Amino acid sequence: MTQENFKSPLLTVDSVLFTIKDNSLKILLLKRKNSPFQNSWALPGGFIDVNRDDSAENTASRKLTDKTGVTPPYLEQLNTFSSKSRDPRGWSASIAYFALIAHEETNLKVTPRNDESAQWVDVESLMDETANYQPLAFDHQQIFQFALERLKQKALYSMLPVFCLPKEFTLGEYHTLIEIILGKSIQKKTLYRRFEASNMFEETGETVATGARAAMLYRLKEDAELVNFERNLG
Amino acid sequence: MTQENFKSPLLTVDSVLFTIKDNSLKILLLKRKNSPFQNSWALPGGFIDVNRDDSAENTASRKLTDKTGVTPPYLEQLNTFSSKSRDPRGWSASIAYFALIAHEETNLKVTPRNDESAQWVDVESLMDETANYQPLAFDHQQIFQFALERLKQKALYSMLPVFCLPKEFTLGEYHTLIEIILGKSIQKKTLYRRFEASNMFEETGETVATGARAAMLYRLKEDAELVNFERNLG
DNA sequence: TAGATAATTGTCCTTGAGACACTATTTGTC
DNA sequence: GACAAATAGTGTCTCAAGGACAATTATCTA
């Protein structure tokens, strides 16, 4: 049985890029210029360019860098979504990636004001399918929800979400971020203990004030490795 | 930018099917009959048949059922491995699956004695690259190791490994299985507590003896859902 | 019937999350 | 300058579940 007996499916890459902005969790969406799903919002992605990309991760990274101007500090493979019906052009598979970035570090090529083709979209608004909800292209709603689940899961047992924050951040910002991701309140003490125990961060020496006592700024250590904890947050 | 501008990569599906047999963890390997890697051992898999398979999971399941005679009780997507160099025929991607089965429930189409084309291979022997070690085809060594990591990880926080055991089994068998997977000793008491807490199993009422006190046989409840624990085993 | 072997249970210890109150530092108001 | 408000950060007790390990129970063999 050789490959020639088989029609080859379409193969694409799509990424769910999260950030925290204006006190809410958002993902990057693009408005499609072409058919199918012309004018629908879709995840950033596209076909693998076998002449440029050594691997699918390469494709994902390249596409995200194209759109945001910077390489996301965290990128991992999420899942591959395949079926004969997810793309009207035929049997297709999309290798989906999951990425985090600080929106402050990005430089979206096209800002919403000039052209609505690239936009940070509030996760809440995507979950709420009432009102004037426009469905995402393809099965991108499903991919997004899969990614959101993974982000929530990882927030329970790792410091992963820090990659949504700028290079220097306060414990308070981290605390807020986690509460937004998990959608419930978490004890500061618990997060501070984990933050300390992870040994991933160092004080910058600077502090920043938000109307009250100044907070210490932290940054990732040079050689920091992502730590997994033995227990989940409740 | 349309799909026509791009050469489509090859797309395959491969599965790592684990079982427990003769007190060791094994995976199913097949000897390749065709080039490339003719006569090398490889993971069960192959090209997606877009006319038969609705999704890649379908392909994985179909291939495994072909080889073992039964549908594995647990199958999940693992990761997609892609690169321009993993297959000498060109840029390719393999959607890898991770599956568990009780070898007692299988009926390998070809047994080792008659034809060595399908065989349960000891995981230990695959890790040990000394001596007369024959490398697996493609990047299947890497895929296998990825799968083994996932199995170990899941054994720490779920009852997943029970799917390596036959429909009826004892707590002692489960204990042994976990110790083999993790490669270290685990307190029986801890596992028994989790087993109870999971609420996934029920007594069959039967017992079985292995030379000493008879052990209670358990089976999965009809409506059992896989439970994840909040903490990892040490 | 005693001894061996494995199954199962009891109980105390330890770790790290949850609750929650307390202290510290900065800003603004009078 | 004293003090109130607000957020940053700490102390400390409780609780749940894993780890250690010994005690108890059931079954088989000699």
Rg (CA), chain A: 19
Distance CA(A191)–CA(A213), nearest Å, equals 19
Q: Collect all residues of chain B within an 8 Å Cβ-Cβ radius of residue A37.
A: none
Task: Give the pLDDT band of residue B2 (cuts 50, 70, 90).
Answer: very low
Return the sign of the alpha-carbon dihedral for residues A59, A63, A66, A72: negative
Name the burial class of residue B66, with classes exposed (0-12), middle (13-18) and buried (19+) by CB atoms within 10 angstroms of its CB: exposed
Report the distance separating Cα B110 and Cα B87, nearest Å.
27
Strand partners of residue A77: A97
Q: How many CB atoms lie within 10 A of CB B215?
A: 16
Q: Which domain holds residue A214?
A: 168-220
Which of A8, A50, A230 is nearest residue B232 as measured by Cβ atoms? A230
The structure tokens 């017992």 sit at B207
In a domain, residue B80? The reply is: yes
B117 touching A (Cβ < 8 Å)? no
Cα–Cα distance list, A171 to A11, B116, B182, B219 (Å) = 41, 59, 36, 48
User: Pick from B53, B91, B230: which is nearest to A231 by CB?
Assistant: B230
Cα A168 to Cα A202: distance, rounded to the nearest angstrom = 10
Round the average pLDDT of chain B to a whole number and report it. Answer: 92
Please report, for the domain that includes residue A42, its CATH number: 3.90.79.10
Report the catalytic residues of B. Answer: 116
- Domains identified in chain B, total number: 2
In a domain, A51, yes or no: yes
B211 band by pLDDT with thresholds 50, 70 and 90: confident
Greatest distance between any 2 Cα atoms in chain B = 70
SS3 sequence, A126-178? Answer: HHCCCCCCCCCCCCHHHHHHHHHHHHHHHHHHECHHHHHCCCCEEHHHHHHHH
Task: State, as a whole number of angstroms, the distance between the CA of B95 and the C1' of D28.
Answer: 50
Question: Which residues of chain B between 36 and 75 are close to nucleic strand C, CB under 7 A?
Answer: none
Q: How many Å apart are CA A70 and CA A67, to the nearest integer?
A: 8
User: In this structure, is residue B3 part of a structural domain?
Assistant: no
Average pLDDT over residues B219-227: 96
CB contact under 8 A, A49 and B6: yes
Q: Over 60: is that where the pLDDT of B112 sits?
A: no
pLDDT at residue B4 is higher than 90: no
One pLDDT digit (tens) per residue for chain A, 234 residues: 444 556 789 999 999 999 999 999 999 999 999 889 999 999 999 999 999 999 999 999 999 999 999 999 999 999 999 999 999 999 999 999 999 999 999 988 655 444 568 999 999 999 987 766 789 999 999 999 999 999 999 999 999 999 999 999 999 999 999 999 999 999 999 999 999 999 999 999 999 987 789 999 999 999 999 999 999 999
Q: Do A79 and B77 touch (CB under 8 A)?
A: yes
What is the C-alpha separation between A163 and A155, in angstroms, rounded?
11
Asked whether residue B228 is domain-assigned, the answer is: no
Dihedral sign (CA B97, B103, B105, B109): positive
Query: Cβ distance B31 to A33 under 8 Å?
Result: no
Residue A2: the pLDDT is 46
CA distance A11 to chain B (A): 7
Identify whether residues A90 and A148 lie together within a single domain: yes
Query: With contacts defined as CB-CB under 8 Å, which chain A residues touch B54?
Result: 83-85
Q: What is the mean pLDDT of residues B106-115?
A: 63
Cross-chain residue pair B93–A8, CB shorter than 8 Å? no
Contacts B149 to A, Cβ<8 Å: none
Is residue A186 situated within a structural domain?
A: yes
pLDDT digits 0-9 by tens, B44-79: 999 999 999 999 999 999 999 999 999 999 999 999
**Is residue B189 packed enough to be buried (19+ CB in 10 Å), middle (13-18) or exposed (0-12)?**
exposed
Q: What is the CATH number of the domain that holds A202?
A: 1.10.10.10
- Closest-approach residue (CA) in chain B for A78: B79
Per-range mean pLDDT, top range of A166-175, B3-12, B119-128:
A166-175
B30 and B105 in a single domain? The answer is yes
Q: Give the C-alpha separation, A179 to B191, whole Å.
A: 33
Cβ neighbour number for residue A202 with a 10 Å cutoff: 12
Residues B118 and B54 in one domain: yes
Residue A27 burial (10 A CB sphere; 0-12, 13-18, 19+): buried
Same domain, A135 and A22: yes
List of chain B residues whose C-beta atoms are within 8 Å of the C-beta of residue A79: 77
Q: Report if residue A143 sits inside a domain.
A: yes
Q: Does B185 touch chain A (CB under 8 A)?
A: no
Q: Which residues contact B137 (CB under 8 A, 6 or more apart)?
A: B32, B36, B37, B40, B41, B42
Which of A93-102, B141-150, B163-172, B201-210 has the least mean pLDDT?
Answer: B201-210
Q: How far is the CA of A196 from the C1' of C17 (A)?
A: 15
CA separation (Å) from A104 to B96, B156, B181? 36, 38, 44
* Contact indicator for A43, A16 with CB cutoff of 8 Å: yes
CA distance A131 to chain B (A): 32
- Please work out, in degrees rounded to the nearest 5, the angle formed at the alpha carbon of residue B7 by the alpha carbons of B4 and B8: 100
Task: Please name the member of A49, A55, A85 whose beta carbon is closest to the beta carbon of B83.
Answer: A55
Domain finish residue from B128, B156, B184: B156
Residue A128 lies in a domain: yes
Contact B28, B69 (CB under 8 A): no
| Residue B196 covered by a domain | yes
* Domain-ending residue, one of A132, A156, A180: A156
